[in-house]
């Protein structure tokens, strides 16, 4: 149940999950986790957070969790990395796809369905959900899942009955690379990260805007990317798009993932309309048509990239209350993704970029977990930032940002003063047998305040909540 923006590998191998991991998972599910127990054995590290519940997700390495409220229940949709595992509900070994888990009682999650990837694919990392009543032209009684089908296609499923998904449409097929997607339910517009090469683009990750207001009839609005990526361009090829987020009339695009990063702010209306007086080809736009919608651009050093650009607008900075001007700041939380295990790279932190004046974005602070605080370089796996939660729940927005930090778990950062981001909580689950380290991949929250951690090392889904000082920030006591 994400509160919408208003408009808004390591890993388990390609075969079945090992018997050791299955035994670990069975033991984990035999009893409800006690405080301090991560659901797969005791020893989780934590500060101002505690475990509420856990599910093994059949041992499948997980990428993205998305809790969604529907028909009085809370359902978590979880996208998975490549591989295959036995589905305990059917007994069949299935390619990794999408797990559907009822988390209405977060202490006792119930696995409802596994929706495998298909057509030879073995992963379906990305998930987005919209209720039909929120979409412009959909069946108001239905709930729809937008996901990637490996590196082959984007597709929509009817998940109104979580245990019986039904295929609705293929949004786009014939692709060799897909990634993080954003679906704005209010407008029906989906901002898809797709392979541009079938259309002659010079990148395997560009932006495709689709109108999914009617999920049964997807319509391409346009393709978009950085100048130099378009068909027919020459010279160096700019970094590919990783992720798009949307808020109001703006898109916040992050390119480069872990190197040569770019933050780009784009005017949505200009993007949709195209530049006047210039011939417009929605599939193969000219350089002028790529430059027209850009509001601003911030280029990063070659050793940092743009994984996520998350807008947090309207922060009233306490320190600035007595000043006349710019007491309220607009911030983009810009994340560079760690890509190499064992710290064989530059450290990848989180940047806070002031975009109060959109034309001149400027970094004002960073957040990073000190390696010395946990000897993380020696733990195995990746150590560094990966992503932040997408929730605009009032419990968190403008106050707390949740950062997935691979083998350092989830970190909760107080950004009420964006010039001085401060960690106030963390939770590091214990890695399952056979995994070098925990690898917290993505985190999300629901409107009840529960935090969902997905793990790419196959440790499953951990559901935690804030305690102590962190909880007081999210839910201040009555005065």
Tell me which residue of 53, 42, 47, 35 sits closest to 426, measured CA to CA: 47
pLDDT at 302: 98
Stretch 423-433: mean pLDDT, rounded? 95
Interatomic CA distance for residues 214 and 304, integer angstroms: 38
The pLDDT of residue 121 is 95
pLDDT at site 174? 81
Contacts of 167 (CB under 8 A, 6+ apart): 155, 156, 157, 158
pLDDT (average), residues 45-61: 98
* Contact (CB, 8 A) for 88 and 80: no
Does residue 177 have a pLDDT over 90? no
* 320 CB-near residues (< 8 Å, 6+ apart): 326, 327
State mean pLDDT over 332-350: 98
Cα–Cα distances (Å) from 100 to 29, 91, 112, in that order, read 17, 17, 6
pLDDT digit string, tens, across residues 282-331: 999 999 999 999 999 999 999 999 999 999 999 999 999 999 999 999 99
Mean pLDDT of the residues in the chain: 91
25 pLDDT band, cuts 50/70/90, is very low
Instruction: pLDDT band for 478, please (50, 70, 90 cuts).
Output: confident
Retrieve residue 133's tokens.
Answer: 């009543």
- The 10 Å Cβ neighbour count of residue 100 is 24
Instruction: Please check the confidence at residue 399 and state whether its pLDDT lies above 90.
Output: yes
Q: 149 has which bridge partners?
A: 153
Q: Which of 148, 164, 183, 162 lies closest to 69 in space, CA to CA?
A: 162
CA dist list (Å): 52 to 34, 48, 218, 462: 8, 13, 39, 8
- Would you state the pLDDT for residue 42? 63
Q: What is the pLDDT of residue 479?
A: 61
Q: What pLDDT was estimated at residue 34?
A: 41
Examine the pLDDT at 14 and tell me if it is beyond 80: no
Q: For residue range 222-273, list pLDDT tens digits in order.
A: 999 999 999 999 999 999 999 999 999 999 999 999 999 999 999 999 999 9
Phi, psi of 297, rounded to the nearest 5 degrees? -150, 135
For the chain, give every domain's residue range: 19-474
**Distance between first and last Cα of the chain:** 29
Give percent of the chain with pLDDT exceeding 70. 91
CATH class for the domain made up of 19-474: mainly beta
* Structure tokens belonging to residue 73: 């229940």
SS (H, E, C) the chain: CCCCCCCCCCCCCCCCCCHHHHHHHHHHHCCCCCCCECCCCECCEEECEEEEEEECHHHCCEEEEEEEEECCEEEEEEEECCCEEECCCCCCEEECCEEEEECCCCCCCEEEEEECCCCCCCCECCEEEEEHHHCCCCCCCCEEEEEEECCCEEEEEECCCCCCCEEEEEEECCCCCCCCCEECCCCCEEEEEECCHHHCCCCCCEEEEEECCCCCCCEEEEEECCCCCCCCCCCCCCCCEEEEEEECCEEEEEEECCCCCEEEEEEHHHHHHCCCCCCCCCCCCCHHHHHCCEEEEEECCCCCCECEEEEEEEEECHHHCCCCCCCEEEEEEEECCCCCECCCCCCCCEEEEECCCCCCCEEEEEECCCHHHCCHHHCCCEEEEEEECCCCCCCCCCCEEEEEEECCCEEEEECCCCCCCEEEEEEECCCCCCCCCCCEEEEEECCCCCEEEEECCCCCEEEEEECHHHHHHHCCCCC
* Banded pLDDT at 5 (limits 50, 70, 90): very low
CA dist 296 and 357 (Å) reads 10
- How confident is the model at residue 43, as a pLDDT? 83
Q: How many CA atoms lie within 13 A of 212 on its CB side?
A: 32
Residues of the chain above pLDDT 90, percent: 85
Q: Is 270 left (phi over 0), alpha (psi -120 to 50) or beta?
A: alpha
Distant-in-sequence, close-in-space partners of 395: CB < 8 Å, separation ≥ 6: 445, 447, 449, 474, 475
Tokens of 470: 């962190």
The full length of the chain comes to 479
What is the pLDDT at residue 179?
A: 87
Of 171, 165, 170, nearest to 189 by C-alpha is 171
CA distances from 443 to 141, 169, 401 (A): 28, 28, 10
0.85 exceeded by pTM: yes
Q: Is the pLDDT of residue 448 over 80?
A: yes
pLDDT of residue 296: 98
Residues 177-204, mean pLDDT to the nearest whole number: 94
pLDDT of residue 330: 98
- The region of weakest confidence among 217-221, 433-437, 445-449 is 433-437
**Cα–Cα distance between 371 and 377 in angstroms, integer?**
7
Give yes or no for a contact between 454 and 64, defined as CB atoms under 8 angstroms apart. Answer: yes
> Mean of the pLDDT values across residues 381-398?
96
Calculate the CA 414 to chain-centre distance.
Answer: 20
Reported confidence tier of residue 71, pLDDT bands at 50, 70, 90: very high
């Amino acid at each position: 149940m994400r509160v919408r923006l208003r408009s808004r590998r390591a890993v388990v191998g390609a075969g079945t999950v090992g018997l050791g991991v299955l035994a670990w998972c069975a033991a984990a599910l035999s009893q409800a986790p006690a405080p301090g127990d991560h659901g797969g054995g005791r020893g989780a590290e934590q500060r101002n957070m505690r475990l509420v519940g856990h599910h093994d997700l059949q041992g499948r390495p997980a990428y993205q969790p998305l809790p969604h409220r529907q028909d009085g229940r809370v359902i978590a949709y979880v996208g998975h990395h490549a591989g295959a595992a036995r589905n305990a509900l059917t007994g069949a070994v299935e390619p990794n796809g999408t797990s559907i888990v009822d988390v209405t009682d977060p202490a006792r999650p119930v696995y409802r369905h596994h929706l495998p990837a298909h057509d030879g694919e073995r992963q379906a990392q990305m998930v987005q959900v919209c209720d039909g009543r929120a979409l412009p032209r959909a069946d108001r009684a239905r709930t729809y899942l937008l996901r990637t089908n490996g590196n082959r296609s984007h597709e929509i499923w009817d998940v109104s009955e979580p245990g019986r998904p039904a295929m609705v449409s293929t949004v786009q097929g014939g692709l060799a690379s897909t990634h993080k997607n954003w679906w704005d339910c209010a407008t029906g517009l989906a901002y898809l990260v797709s392979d541009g090469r079938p259309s002659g683009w010079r990148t395997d990750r560009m932006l495709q805007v689709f109108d999914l207001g009617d999920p049964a009839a997807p319509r391409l609005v346009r393709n978009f990317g950085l100048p130099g990526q378009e068909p027919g361009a020459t010279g160096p090829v700019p970094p590919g798009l990783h992720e798009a987020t949307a808020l109001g009339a703006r898109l916040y695009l992050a390119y480069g993932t872990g190197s040569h990063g770019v933050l780009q702010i784009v005017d949505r209306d200009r993007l949709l309309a195209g530049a006047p007086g210039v011939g417009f080809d929605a599939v193969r736009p000219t350089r002028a048509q790529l430059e027209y919608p850009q509001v601003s651009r911030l280029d990063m050093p070659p050793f940092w990239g743009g994984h996520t650009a998350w807008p947090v607008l309207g922060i009233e900075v306490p320190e600035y209350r007595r000043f006349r001007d710019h007491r309220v700041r607009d911030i983009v939380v810009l994340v560079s993704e760690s890509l190499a295990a064992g710290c064989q790279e530059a450290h990848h932190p989180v940047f806070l970029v002031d975009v109060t004046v959109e034309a001149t974005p400027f970094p004002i602070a960073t957040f990073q977990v000190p390696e010395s605080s946990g000897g993380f370089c020696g733990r195995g796996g990746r150590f560094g930032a990966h992503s932040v939660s997408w929730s605009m729940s009032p419990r968190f927005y403008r106050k707390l940002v949740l950062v997935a930090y691979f083998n350092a778990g989830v970190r909760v950062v107080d950004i009420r003063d964006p010039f001085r981001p401060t960690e106030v909580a963390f939770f590091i689950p214990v890695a399952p047998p056979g995994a070098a380290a925990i690898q917290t991949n993505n985190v999300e929250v629901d409107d009840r305040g529960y935090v969902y951690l997905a793990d790419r090392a196959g440790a499953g889904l951990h559901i935690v909540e804030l305690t102590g000082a962190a909880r007081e920030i999210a839910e201040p006591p009555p005065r």
